Homo-oligomer: A and B are copies of this chain.
């Protein structure tokens, strides 16, 4: 059974995506390592019938500028995502469980195994966001001085993915027969050794867990560089897009789907989810006030740092109420190209001061303040004009903004026939309308 409605995911991090979310008086101080808190969030997302509960990740704490990171502690203190989702697999039944894991810092065998195991634990609800990572703090935890260059990271990512997907096909779907009379647990002929010798990895062996309920976890990707888009066109089933305008998103959508046929894939085999933050109000003005108040809580040190990180420019001592001179802007980005480009065009087009810039910059998403109707109008427009197949919700304040969304926006989407009224499938693939991949060794392919 498949589901042809728009896809909705939610990116969850502690008290919310907003840098000042933790400062709200209701925000639990221990949210980022409180499993009961996460269980409530997952249950809420499942009440909202969402497709995907998603945990972003970077395998590092910052070791510098701690005086700033104490004001904005993203990733300084959080559950490791694979263990977190494994724990959540037992308290949810329908929602997909997706996590980021870096191809730069894992061993393919360990990653293939853990995601296959998560897929079994959740009865087919695992998703893997394939990233190459974009910070040197992570590199230093794994024996490197700094990240390898962008193209080398993607070269490794491609080979990593190749190895992992071979390992996921170790066992054919019907390999395990459990025949007690013949004393035969599995058909030896349905076990297939991976024999991979590549530039980055040499792997000879098979995965020691049977094929995942979904065949393999849903492959998620979010790169927006040339390398990233090409990799996504070849392998990704869900893509998080992060362009801030309708037009840019349409271009990205057409570009990415246009690349798929070259890899023998149909455009429907990939769902593009546009980043979206919503602030729901009974009027647009009420929602905007709520958002403005939140923005005003951003500490200037945090504003400078977040912007500086994506612009790859140290803004620590830069005056708050002046625009950033264009000649200081680096020529190219080595980290997140989409974020970088977004800031550069804001500087060029809008001539904002640093303070205005950091108060309006949205990292890879759009914030929509409005009534449920306005929000759904926007969502419909993006879907109908082929800017997205769905949305990746990054709520500013959790659980409140998600509570509002589930209570007011989901029903409006349902009323307009845009969203499911109940889960139709049991796996993440089924809910997203993605086919279960055949095992490369299975009969049909022989």
Contacts and interface: CB of A to CB of B under 8 A. Distances in A.
Contact of A180 (B23, B87, B178, B210): B23
Contact of A33 (B86, B113, B120, B186): B120
Contact of A87 (B22, B23, B87, B176): B87
Interface string A38-52: 010000000000000
A89 B90 CA distance: 10
Contacts of A142: 107, 109, 203
Given A66-B188, A76-B186, A180-B23, A117 B84 contact: yes
Contact of A107 (B105, B116, B187): B105
B143 A203 contact: yes
A117 B83 contact: yes
- What band does the interface of chain A fall in when counting residues whose beta carbon is under 8 Å from B? 35 or more
Contacts of A140: 203-205
Contacts of A210: 33, 77
A208 B60 contact: yes
Nearest to A206: B61
A114 interface: yes
A109 B141 CA distance: 6
A83 B82 contact: yes
Interface in A50-68: 58-61, 63, 66-67
A383 to B, nearest CB: 35
A178 B32 CA distance: 12
Given A60-B208, A204-B140, A208-B76, A185 B82 contact: no
A346 interface: no
Interface in A178-224: 178, 180, 183-188, 191, 193, 201-210
B171 A77 contact: yes
A91 B23 CA distance: 32
A83 B114 contact: yes
Contact of A186 (B63, B70, B113): B70
A132 interface: no
Task: Count copies of this chain in the complex.
Answer: 2
A90 B35 contact: yes
B208 A75 contact: yes
A185 B71 contact: yes
Given A109-B105, A117-B84, A203-B141, A208 B59 contact: yes
A123 B236 CA distance: 36
A199 to B, nearest CB: 12
A22 B140 CA distance: 46
A121 interface: yes
A318 interface: no
Given A23-B180, A105-B109, 9 more contacts: A33-B120, A59-B113, A70-B187, A73-B186, A78-B208, A86-B86, A106-B107, A140-B204, A143-B201
Interface of A: 22-23, 25, 27, 29-30, 33, 35, 39, 58-61, 63, 66-67, 70-71, 73, 75-80, 82-84, 86-87, 89-91, 105-107, 109-110, 113-114, 116-118, 120-121, 137-138, 140-143, 170-171, 176, 178, 180, 183-188, 191, 193, 201-210, 299
